[in-house]
A and B are shown apart, each in its own frame.
Chain A
């Protein structure tokens, strides 16, 4: 399993989760966990995904996702899980 963390941050709007999930499904990426909050109209979402079956290289997925985010006026990122694991777990 190749875990990655997807974050989508910005002003809340209709269809954020739907568009993100469609993009992931089209690229063969399996969602393992989702958590999200909306505070004062501000949307914060994190997904833990498995990139093991991804149909495109990591860099392409990351760029594609950023574009999906842009189309909604949001910032979307895809990062390998280790950067968070290393920083917050001993």
Chain B
């Protein structure tokens, strides 16, 4: 039988160490909403979302109350909108109409974000993919809760450099179009390589075509819990360090598994995966950077950071895998800058640069995330940054992503406030040497040799 100290340990994690379930994300297929008429397509989308996800928020709140565990976000992901709208969208404005419909549905459902205003173009773009991509700046400017992602490469297909170049322009255009809000649109736009079909985390969540009609995916969190556990074993050897992270990850993930199964049962929607991620927030004590400090780095960015992060990421996976029947999504440690107070402090202390963050993305689960850069950074330079990250993902057979915000009208030395979970960020300097002749080349980078496994 459960004893007092175990009960107190769990409640201490929740109360003092910010343990929570970061998101219950319901994936909904919109493939059956396609129509050659735009109006009919939008009506189908709205009706399907409300019928499938109508009880999501209420159910999430009930589970939260009964088990005493906060469930921070309730969200929805959809089939990449480029596919859903391909039969009826003739101009970028038509896709914007779909974005408005999605935003309306998200508001009605009470979810704070809806992901999947997306195109998967890892080998090439169809005309409708390109229309969707060109509609992104306007779509993100006129909606509130829509998240957009574009997958530009994979280990199997190589990198579509035409899409990379276009995304450099689109990121810039989105920043420009939302400049009155410190280019906030770019915080809801991510460029991916090897994007998973079942990721519950924004902004990269979409419901891939390999998925069923609807599915429940859950993202767990808990960097504060790991940090506390490590603070209890100062100076321990690597074996003890790794075991402690693994055990803690196990406990965190079990809570996610419980919530996912309950949500699945109550909503009558199959359980998909648990995403075992350490997802930080700007709240004090909810930081991945603080774990790196606890492991022994004066600041994240110091020599040894990549090794420490590799260790952390691996142990989180090892502990989490046994705790859940299905694991997927991104699963690892997130290293966003603006969403993690410890990372912001490291940048402000001069310890952390974009180049070091790039190295760190080789060993953790995401990429260059929530990084504010000078507003006058060129579209070609942004495309170069995207290409670098995509190459890391392609060669290492992992997901990588770029979510950078060129803040129009601001430069190095300024800072920007996004508010809420998105946090605030100092503007980081970008290498200013030109790469336009490289990214200006047409076509795609071939898949690496180790992708040929047939």
Contact = CB atoms under 8 A, between A and B. Distances in A.
B252 to A, nearest CB: 8
A79 B67 contact: yes
Contact of A59 (B8, B11, B66, B255): B66
Interface string B62-94: 100111110000000000000000000000000
Contacts of A59: 62, 65-66
A84 B9 CA distance: 9
A81 B8 contact: no
Interface residues of A, number: 26
B122 interface: no
Contacts of A77: 11, 68
A7 B8 contact: yes
Contacts, number: 64
B258 A82 contact: yes
State the majority secondary structure of interface residues on B: helix
B254 interface: yes
Contacts of A78: 68
A87 B21 CA distance: 14
A53 B6 CA distance: 26
B1 interface: yes
Interface string A27-52: 00000010111000000101010000
Nearest to B19: A87
Nearest to A88: B6
A83 interface: yes
Contacts of B251: 87-88
Given A82-B258, A83-B258, A5 B7 contact: yes
B67 A82 contact: yes
B4 interface: yes
Contacts of A44: 4, 8
B10 interface: yes
Contact of B65 (A36, A62, A82): A62
Most B Cβ at <10 Å: residue of A46, A86, A87: A87
A84 B6 contact: yes
Interface in B431-448: none
Contacts of A85: 2
Contact of B7 (A7, A58, A80): A7
B154 interface: no
A83 B257 contact: no
A77 B68 CA distance: 8
A68 B199 CA distance: 42
Contact of A5 (B2, B65, B69, B254): B2
Contacts of B69: 83
Contacts of A33: 1
Given A58-B66, A88-B10, A83 B4 contact: no
A88 B255 CA distance: 10
Given A62-B65, A87-B251, A35 B3 contact: yes
A85 B2 CA distance: 7
Interface string A64-90: 000000000000011111111111110
Given A5-B7, A80-B67, A87 B1 contact: no
A9 B65 CA distance: 18
Given A7-B7, A7-B11, 12 more contacts: A5-B7, A7-B8, A36-B4, A37-B4, A44-B8, A46-B7, A58-B65, A59-B66, A79-B66, A80-B67, A83-B255, A88-B9
> 8 closest pairs, A vs B, by CB?
A79-B68, A86-B254, A83-B67, A88-B6, A86-B258, A84-B2, A46-B4, A35-B4
25 contacts: A5-B2, A5-B7, A7-B7, A35-B4, A37-B4, A46-B3, A46-B7, A48-B2, A62-B65, A77-B68, A79-B66, A80-B67, A81-B2, A83-B10, A83-B69, A83-B258, A84-B6, A84-B7, A85-B2, A86-B255, A86-B258, A87-B6, A88-B2, A88-B9, A88-B251
